[in-house]
Amino acid sequence: MPDNVKFADLDVGATIPAFSKGPITRTQLALFAGASGDHNPIHLDDEEARAGGLPGVIVHGMLMMAVLGQMLTAWVPQSRIRKFSNRFASMAVPGDTINCAGKVVGKRQENGENLVDLEIKAENQKGKILLSGAATVAVD
């Protein structure tokens, strides 16, 4: 279970523990297609992906976001996440690793809760930005 993160201990600029998954395999894309319900052939079939103007199959954006989400749930209990969003900045392909990082950009109190605003991102193994996003979590 995640450690007990305290509002008083978090300063603006502080980083949260990094998180990484990969390399992503074609098998994982097939499993995620089935489990997530996203059967778009651009994630499963090179020929169809190329017909759509892509170089080949690409990783589901929502699989990358699920990895980014695991950085948050490894840090605070899931029920403490208030907001979580990202832009899908670039595509990942099979073989890529998804490296996630986050830092505190704001602290505030709202409706009796201590809220921490984070800037979060995911990069591939070459440092190319895959996801850029934001999250808000409530802490003690």
119 binds other proteins (CB under 8 A): no
Per-residue contact string for residues 82-101; x = within reach of other proteins by CB under 8 A: xxxxxxx--x----------
Q: Strands 113-123, 129-139: parallel, antiparallel or unpaired by DSSP?
A: antiparallel
| Least distance from other proteins to the Cβ atom of residue 87, Å | 5
| Least distance from other proteins to the Cβ atom of residue 8, Å | 23
70 binds other proteins (CB under 8 A): yes
d(CA 66, CA 124): 15
| Least distance from other proteins to the Cβ atom of residue 131, Å | 9
Look up residue 126 and give its amino acid. Answer: K
